[in-house]
Amino acid sequence: MKIGIPKALMYYFYYPFWKTLFESLGFEVVTSDDTSKSILDIGVKEAVAEICVPMKVYTGHVLNLLDKSVDYIYIPRFVSLRKGIFMCPKFMGLPDMIKGLFDGIENKILTHNIVSKSTDISEFHNYTVFIDKLGVSRKDLKNALKKARDKWLEFRALNKQGYDINELLTSDKPKKYDGDITIGLIGYVYNVYDRFVNMDLLNVFRKLNIKVVTFDMMEERIIQRQLKKFKKNMFWEFTNMLLGTAYEFMERDDIDGIIHITAFGCGPDSILEPFLTIDSEKHKKPFMTLRIDEQTGESHVITRVEAFTDLIRIKKYKAEKSVEGVI
Amino acid sequence: MKITFPYMGSPYMYEKLFSLLGHEVITPPRPSQRTINYGVKYSPEFACFPLKVILGTYLEALELGADTIVTSGGNGPCRAGYYGEAQKKILQNMGYDVEFIIFDEPKRDWKTFLENVKKIKGNNSWRQVIKTVKIVYDMAKSMDKVEKIVETKRAYECNKEFTKVWHEITEEYRKIESSEDVKRVEKKAIERLNSIKICEVPEEEKIKIGIVGEIYVVMEPSINGNIEEVLNAYGAEVERSHYISEWIDFNLIPLPFYKEKEHQILKKGEKYIEIIIGGHAKQSVGAIIDFMERGFDGVIHLKPFGCLPELVSQSVIDKIMREYDYPILSLSVDEQMAIANVLTRIEAFLDVIKLKKHRKRIAR
């Protein structure tokens, strides 16, 4: 049996987990192609016009998988990864949304709710649907989940050491990249690592000799410590992580500037925005918002990143000089 | 302490609640273009429209001298539950020294909740507080009852009278001081409405439209282009999926009997949206099915641009339309909404409905 996994949204965070899980259960895993113009165009055409670009991309990937004659498309419903904290409503309604967009796709969708205590989603009770639907035994499922969990933790450990997710997912010998200045990049995995949608942003940084740190490279306990500052946390798991990471970046001296990459029409990010803009100014940390959507052009991204990092370099250079007493 | 509050639907209930408890109340003016401009200027660009309008009304109320904002929180994942925190940040950054009293669910933070209650309670006895709450609840029930009559009958008025009379009635409600007053005003209001001249339309030509969607844009006529009045003017009866008294029943009264209606609506939405995903997405879909079963001719779905939960419901609306061959019009509301666009779309929508009804009659 072939199980299709759309290369979008949480793919970038959980693919090692899902791949190991389904393969240990004896299924073949097929992913959709890398995001491309045709995938995006189909998504834009089929999805609701107003929805954010990551959801349009996801829709495109689902259709791409249908062409690959898979038996099931795996569309989990992420509900909560921490008590009292949810995911964005669009994630919570993702299977419903896909069912609503295409007639007759119900039987092709493999879905279940994920309600978990942490980002480790291997809790058995979430996957009991598989027993009937895929005809696997409890024991096999438990074993597969354990294997998947180990694999995922290994992946996350490397990720936290500073390897970016694209390196880890695509190459056997991942590389770390360094630079003369460091940018804290605030953004969800599907905006940061989808090379097509963000115009290969990470490579733009590399060419400019800039080191990038993202939220997925941070230890979760550091993020949680920062979040304690808030009396009431936001409702969305990954938005909270971005918030905590951003405050950590503001306080750290080795981060020279912060870039917030966000998709047009992202709801949670619109609430995150005032906190980041107001407080980064208070911390005197250079801050820029980079908004991407289906119409984003490459030169736009490059120009803005270049201008921003040039200013940071000038600032840093001046500061070093004045310490030496030249200026 | 000069209290102000978010403007949604009729502001008189909140005004009554706080003034009967002896607070000085600054009632924000009805949202206008100025309010919207204010809100848009100081809010994040992609914040949803209600956040912008509410921020605008706060700014206007602060200009009028308010220094305390009382509002509700929420548990998400709809953005509305975090409005208070975000607006606090924005207003503080603008240099306003304003106190926010945000009512969250008690179990989230008991201490803050009790402190907030104490602040609102002031020097009143608990008996007084309960009595006041009862009066305001009766007032909300009664106003919704009268408004439903207006929304139905206004479709058939001979001269444009209903809107004027309704405004006069709300002014009467504003003056009440006891539950007896509520009854008296209600009786008088219904008598007045019944005395207005009606130009009857044959039963088979009557059109009934349901309005569903995000609660703020459904309930606040000043930002949804007075959609109910517009529909009435085109000769269509209107019913909304949200009334403040029903919201109170479902959210604030801890008795199962009061939640019955909402649970039934939710159940109807289950086929399309399995779990509650925040906001009123599931309710909206359930309400569409409910209106359809009750023989309404069509539904208008309103949402603020980029509303997270309602985008999911919009995604399944197309399917419902195909499945039942039922007319649904989805409209986005934001600062860019042009009234001519809305009028044209509503007119076309009603034409479709009329034609459909006509064809059905002929077929019979």
Chain A: residue whose CA lies nearest to B47: A270
Q: Would an 8 Å CB–CB cutoff place A106 in contact with chain B?
A: no
Would you say residue A326 has pLDDT above 60? no
A271 and B82: CB-CB below 8 Å? yes
Residue B278: predicted pLDDT: 87
Chain B: residue whose CA lies nearest to A79: B277
User: Among all chains, which residue has been given the structure tokens 């201008």?
Assistant: A307
Chain B: residue whose CA lies nearest to A106: B272
A97 and B315: CB-CB below 8 Å? yes
B278 and A271: CB-CB below 8 Å? no
Residues of B in contact with A271 (CB under 8 A): 44, 47, 79, 82, 86
Across the interface, of B48, B93, B315, the residue whose CB is closest to A267 is: B48
Over residues B106-134, mean pLDDT: 91
Determine the Cα–Cα distance for residues B262 and B290; give it in Å rounded to an integer: 11
Q: Interface of chain B against chain A, CB under 8 Å?
A: 44-48, 73, 75-79, 81-82, 85-86, 89-90, 93, 104, 108-109, 112, 272-275, 277-279, 281, 305-309, 311-312, 314-319, 322, 332
Residue A61: predicted pLDDT: 97
Answer yes or no: are the C-beta atoms of A39 and A61 closer than 8 Å.
yes
Residue A323: predicted pLDDT: 66
- Total residue length of chain A: 327
Over residues A306-310, mean pLDDT: 95
Cα torsion angle, B266, B270, B272, B274, sign: positive
Show the beta-strand stretches assigned E in chain A: 2-5, 28-31, 72-74, 77-80, 109-110, 113-115, 181-186, 210-214, 257-263, 287-292
Answer yes or no: are the C-beta atoms of B175 and B136 closer than 8 Å.
no
Q: Would an 8 Å CB–CB cutoff place A96 in contact with chain B?
A: yes
% of chain B at pLDDT higher than 90: 81
Determine the Cα–Cα distance for residues B125 and A149; give it in Å rounded to an integer: 57
Answer yes or no: are the C-beta atoms of B357 and B297 closer than 8 Å.
yes
Residues of A in contact with B279 (CB under 8 A): 89
Over residues A248-273, mean pLDDT: 94
Across the interface, of A89, A101, A265, the residue whose CB is closest to B278 is: A89
Residues of A in contact with B311 (CB under 8 A): 48, 50-51, 90
Residues of A in contact with B315 (CB under 8 A): 47-48, 51, 93, 96-97, 100-101
Note the ipTM here: 0.90
B273 and A86: CB-CB below 8 Å? no
Considering only CA atoms, which of B128, B276, B26, B98 is closest in space to residue A89?
A: B276
Residues of B in contact with A48 (CB under 8 A): 311, 314-315
Other CB atoms within a 10 A radius of the CB of residue B3 amount to 25
Q: Would an 8 Å CB–CB cutoff place A235 in contact with chain B?
A: yes
Answer yes or no: are the C-beta atoms of B4 and B69 closer than 8 Å.
yes
A194 phi, psi to nearest 5 deg: -80, 105
A90 and B312: CB-CB below 8 Å? yes
B47 and A271: CB-CB below 8 Å? yes
Query: Which of A8-12, B143-147, B232-236, B254-258 is the least confident region?
Result: B254-258
Model confidence over B140-183: pLDDT tens digits? 999 999 999 999 999 999 999 999 999 999 999 999 999 999 99
Show the beta-strand stretches assigned E in B105-231: 207-213
Residues 6 or more apart in contact with residue A280 via CB below 8 angstroms: A246, A250, A258, A286, A287
Which pLDDT band holds residue A325 (cuts at 50, 70, 90)? low
CA torsion A189→A235→B277→B225, rounded to 10°? -100
Would you say residue B223 has pLDDT above 60? yes
B275 and A266: CB-CB below 8 Å? no
Residue B259: predicted pLDDT: 86
Task: Provide the number of CB pairs (under 8 Å) joining chain A to chain B.
Answer: 127
Residues of A in contact with B266 (CB under 8 A): none
Q: Would an 8 Å CB–CB cutoff place A26 in contact with chain B?
A: no
Bridge partner residues of B71 (DSSP): B102
CA of residue A289 relative to chain centroid, distance: 17
Determine the Cα–Cα distance for residues A186 and A260; give it in Å rounded to an integer: 5
Model confidence over A82-105: pLDDT tens digits? 998 999 999 999 999 999 999 889
pTM of the model as a whole:
0.93
Tell me if residue A178 falls in helix, strand or coil: coil
End-to-end CA distance of chain A: 69
Would you say residue A136 has pLDDT above 60? yes
Model confidence over A47-59: pLDDT tens digits? 999 999 999 999 9
Q: How far is B313 from chain A (nearest CA, A)?
A: 8
Would you say residue A327 has pLDDT above 60? no
Considering only CA atoms, which of B298, B315, B316 is closest in space to residue B352?
A: B298
CA of residue A299 relative to chain centroid, distance: 23
Task: For an interface test with B, give the residue of A231, A236, A271 to mutate (most B CBs within 10 A).
Answer: A271
B104 and A232: CB-CB below 8 Å? yes
B86 and A271: CB-CB below 8 Å? yes
Q: Would an 8 Å CB–CB cutoff place A270 in contact with chain B?
A: yes
Residue B3: predicted pLDDT: 94
% of chain B at pLDDT higher than 70: 100
Answer yes or no: are the C-beta atoms of A165 and A147 closer than 8 Å.
no
Model confidence over B262-315: pLDDT tens digits? 899 999 999 999 999 988 999 999 999 999 999 999 999 999 998 999 999 999
Answer yes or no: are the C-beta atoms of A275 and A243 closer than 8 Å.
yes
Q: What are the angstrom distances between the C-alpha of A107 and each of A99, B56, B217, B362?
A: 10, 48, 36, 40
CB half-sphere exposure, A28, CA atoms < 13 A: 7
Across the interface, of B44, B104, B277, the residue whose CB is closest to A93 is: B277
Which pLDDT band holds residue A324 (cuts at 50, 70, 90)? low
Residues of B in contact with A47 (CB under 8 A): 315
Over residues A67-71, mean pLDDT: 92
Share the mean pLDDT of chain B.
92
Cα torsion angle, A41, A47, A52, A54, sign: negative
Which pLDDT band holds residue A142 (cuts at 50, 70, 90)? very high
Model confidence over B69-104: pLDDT tens digits? 999 888 878 999 999 999 999 999 999 999 999 998
A90 and B311: CB-CB below 8 Å? yes
- R_g of chain A, CA atoms, integer Å: 20
- Total residue length of chain B: 364
